[in-house]
Amino acid sequence: MSKHDADDPLAHIPIFAGLGPKERDEVRSLMTGVDVESGYVLAREGSYGSEFFVIESGTAKVERDGVLLAEIGPGDFQGEMSLLDNGVRTATVTATSPMSLLVATVNEFNSLLDQAPIIARQMLPAVVARLRVLPGAHHGD
**pLDDT tens-digit readout, 53-62:** 989 999 999 9
- The pLDDT value given to residue 13: 81
Domain 3-125: give its CATH code: 2.60.120.10
Q: What is the mean pLDDT of residues 16-41?
A: 89
Of residues 102 and 5, the one with the higher pLDDT is 102
67-72: strand order across its sheet:
41-43, 92-95, 60-64, 67-72
- At 30 the pLDDT is 87
Q: Is the pTM of this model over 0.85?
A: no
Q: Is the dihedral of CA 66, 71, 73, 79 positive or negative?
A: negative
Residues 6+ positions from 14 with CB-CB distance below 8 Å: 75, 122
Q: What does the pLDDT look like over 32-55, one tens digit per residue? A: 999 999 999 999 999 988 898 989
